[in-house]
Amino acid sequence: MKSILVIDREFGAGGSTIAEKTAARLGWTLLDQALTQRIARLANVAPETCRRREERVDPWLQRLVNIIWRGSFERNLPPPDMAVLNTDRLVSFVRLVVEQAIASGPCVIVGRGAPYFLRDRKDTFCVFLYAPRELRFRRVLSRIGNEAEALELVDTMDAERRKFVKHHFGQEWPNRCLFHAMLNTALGDDPTVETILHLLNTANQCEAAPKS
């Protein structure tokens, strides 16, 4: 049975909101900002050290930090202490935190590379969310209130995710073969949630049906 729902998304497509609503409907644990907080603790957060060593940051590490911190709207968390990190170590933290989290029971995971390192699990159902650029811009703008920054985020975050996934998993982003469904959130948040729930329920019914 599918007990792990992974929601990957274009930046600004509403993935976090839709995941939160879906988790609430299912009664499953939501692993979104909570994952970022756990990763931050493992990564030994020390903002002063980070600022002192900013010019010597591995660009791949900076991309990953952007994806996890900046890309998740977790603006109250300082970035990790990059003096004690390299990219592979931070990726290993992400994998460790996700695997620990899913061991606790049914959950909804937002992004964090989960479709790629959970791809061999049979209990995972993966959905990719996308939306027109203008809609994504409006969503981001409503959260941060700065038009220039909203445009910059919409136009750069997905490119960074694409490079990160290619570099660390050798996969295209998004790899359509890893997703059970790809949905346009221009339908609206609630219709998207209903569609995800219907597809997940159908998948579980198919698995439970007697094999002829």
pTM value is 0.80
**pLDDT tens-digit map of 104-140:** 999 999 988 889 989 999 999 999 999 999 999 999 9
The answer on pLDDT for 81 being more than 60 is no
Q: How do residues 161-184 score in pLDDT, each as one tens digit?
A: 888 788 778 889 999 999 999 999
Question: What would the 3-class secondary structure string for 40-96 be?
Answer: HHHCCECHHHHHHCHHHCCHHHHHHHHHHCHHHCCCCCCCECHHHCCHHHHHHHHHH
Dump pLDDT digits (tens) for 24-78. Answer: 999 999 998 777 777 777 766 443 333 233 223 345 455 555 555 555 544 454 5
Select from 96, 72, 75 the least CA-distant residue to 7.
72
**Which domains are present in the chain?**
4-200 (3.40.50.300)
